[in-house]
Structure 1
Amino acid sequence: MIRFITTSRLRALETARDDARRRAVQVQERADAAFAGHTRSALALTARAEAAETVDVILRAELDDAHRAMAALAADHAIEVTALSERVAELSARSLYVLLHYGEIHSIHLTARAAEQTAEDNGAAPGHWGPRSSDQTATEDPWRWVRRDVDGGRS
């Protein structure tokens, strides 16, 4: 089949073709711009996610350090509480220990061990504690302790 096209019809088709090309270029430019925008957004979101992961790692490390420091402080406080509890028990003791040096009062202590340690720090032989012989007088005994009950009794 043969079809005859007039010049006016040919010009109208060429104009329509040119309009279609322009529209196609415009649509392609908008599609490229949208794609570039989405690519920039994806890159920005990726960078933010990576930064958040870095901050998360740093914060977790700091939190772990803080937990370790708190545990150490709790252990220190437990030791202090134990020491204070022992001290309170000593202070509430019903007896005192009088340390004598050749029969003269040298010092007063809350425990026998504290009296012995003081004597040893002042030259007494370590580990030589026990009952004194009955033939020795108090002034002949270089170091000894005597327990005194708070209510005045002696043992």
Structure 2
Amino acid sequence: MIRIVTAGRVRRLEQDAEQARTRAREIQGQADAAWRRHVREVWELTARAESAESDAGILRKQTYRLEAASERVRLLEGELEAAKRSGRSLVLLLHWGEPHSIHRSREDAFAYAATQGAPVHGWTPSDERVHAEATWQTIAFTADETVMGFRPALASGPEPMGGAA
């Protein structure tokens, strides 16, 4: 079959083809923009997920540390209660005036301090005051129900204030 195409028909076909190409470029631009938004969103979500995983790992570690510290506190509370019932005291080991560890006796505190580099001999008796310039110091303490806390074992209980009994 032979078809005769006029110049006007060719122009209309070329215009239609140009419009279709223009529309295809517009659609391709929109698709490219949507793809870029999608990739950016995936990138941000991945970064947030990795950050959340990292935070969860940090929180797990902190939880384990808190559980371990809580267990140590429970053990120390039990030991303090036993010491209080038996009338003996516990010993707080200070390093440069800061609390370092708690021990059952001065000998245990001295032995532990020796593992940390403190001299085995040469310890002098200390009073209940904390000396920040002292490398190592021990203070015996006990629970005191009257003050709902702790006090040095060397000190007596609180004195009544203003003559009150």
Shift of 1:50: 0.2
Aligned to 2:79: 79
Cα distance in 2 between the residues matched to 1:5 and 1:65: 86
Aligned to 1:39: 39
Q: Deviations over 1:120-145 (max 9, x none)?
A: xxxxxxxxxxxxxxxxxxxxxxxxxx
- TM-score (normalised: structure 1): 0.55
SS class of match (1:3): coil
Aligned to 1:19: 19
Shift of 1:82: 1.1
Aligned to 1:29: 29
Aligned to 1:143: none
Q: Does 1:52 align with 2:62?
A: no
Shift of 1:77: 0.5
Shift of 1:85: 2.0
> Any unmatched runs of 5+ in structure 2?
88-165
Higher helix fraction (1 or 2): 1
> Any unmatched runs of 5+ in structure 1?
88-155
Shift of 1:24: 0.5
Report 1 or 2 for greater relative contact order, CA contacts < 8 Å, sequence distance ≥ 6. 1
Cα distance in 1 between the residues matched to 2:30 and 2:9: 31
- RMSD over aligned Cα atoms: 1.3
Cα distance in 2 between the residues matched to 1:73 and 1:12: 89
Flag as ranges the 4+ runs of structure 1 deviating above 3 A: none
Q: Structure 2: which amino acid aligns with 1:12?
A: R
Cα distance in 2 between the residues matched to 1:50 and 1:75: 37
Q: Show the 5 A alignment for 1:6-155.
A: 6-87=6-87
SS class of match (2:18): helix
Decide which structure has the larger Cα Rg and report it. 1
SS class of match (1:10): helix
Shift of 1:15: 0.2
Shift of 1:83: 1.5
Shift of 1:86: 2.5
